[in-house]
């Protein structure tokens, strides 16, 4: 396994990482098997979200005992401080963890700025040690580029694949210039790419891009591990 540093977080993460959205579609036992197999094959970065039904619960069930050896990212749709605190506490409880390494705003239509009450709640959570770093996950390039340049976000999550446009790929340089970790979601372009090796080889060119591969079946995990 190869590892890289996720921007200014200084977190060392596996360059092959685990996207946990699809495990909400399988049983607890099946999810635990996939998560442990990924961990046993040196995958150390797992991305989930409060909105992925029971994905956080499955990660907690499978990996809580490995907490200090893995990096966990989760997300919240919260738009105000009260909803943020409730979302974070729920995530911590389901993950069976005292802190989340990277907590991300989940696909906001606009970038939450410093004065936004949810962002202030994020800062409060960081001061309390409940999160370590602040991230944002988005599908809009303008929001992603604004976040990368803002100084407010340690990581940006954005679709990255072998068929990304030149404009989208500019985000790679933006994040590198501002020392922001870039988490690449939808590495298979939502299923448009059927050969994982194609996108894997393309993304492996960029050391500051950490793709999270959505895994639901064992053969999918085997494919990205290979």
Which neighbouring-strand residues pair with 106? Answer: 137
153 a catalytic residue: no
Tokens 């396994």 belong to 1
Instruction: Catalytic residue, from 3, 39, 52, 153: name it.
Output: 52
Q: What are phi and psi of 42, to 5 degrees?
A: 75, 15
What is residue 50's three-state secondary structure? Answer: coil
47: closest CA among 55, 38, 36? 55
Q: What is the largest CA-CA distance in the chain?
A: 45
Tokens 């940006």 map to which residue? 156
Using the Cα atoms of residue 181, residue 222, residue 199 and residue 194 in order, give the sign of their dihedral.
negative
Annotated catalytic sites, by residue? 52
């Amino acid at each position: 396994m190869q590892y890289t540093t996720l921007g200014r977080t200084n977190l060392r993460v596996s360059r092959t990482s685990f996207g946990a959205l699809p495990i909400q579609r399988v049983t607890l036992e099946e999810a635990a098997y996939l998560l442990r197999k990924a961990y046993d094959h040196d995958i150390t970065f797992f991305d989930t979200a409060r909105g992925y039904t029971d994905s956080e619960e499955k990660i907690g069930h499978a990996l809580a005992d490995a907490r200090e050896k893995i990096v966990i990212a989760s997300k919240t749709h919260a738009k105000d401080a009260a909803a943020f605190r409730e979302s974070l506490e729920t995530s911590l409880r389901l993950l069976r963890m005292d802190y989340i390494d990277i907590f991300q705003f989940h696909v906001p239509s606009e970038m939450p700025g410093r004065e936004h009450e949810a962002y202030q709640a994020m800062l409060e959570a960081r001061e309390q040690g409940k999160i370590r770093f602040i991230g944002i996950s988005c599908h809009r390039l303008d929001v992603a580029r604004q976040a990368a340049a803002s100084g407010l976000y340690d990581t940006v999550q954005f679709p990255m694949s072998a068929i990304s446009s030149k404009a989208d790929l500019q985000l790679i340089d933006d994040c590198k210039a501002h020392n922001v970790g870039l988490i690449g979601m939808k590495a298979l372009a939502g299923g448009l790419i059927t050969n994982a090796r194609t996108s894997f080889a393309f993304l492996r060119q960029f050391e500051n891009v950490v793709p999270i591969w959505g895994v639901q079946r064992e053969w999918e995990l085997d494919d990205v591990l290979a």
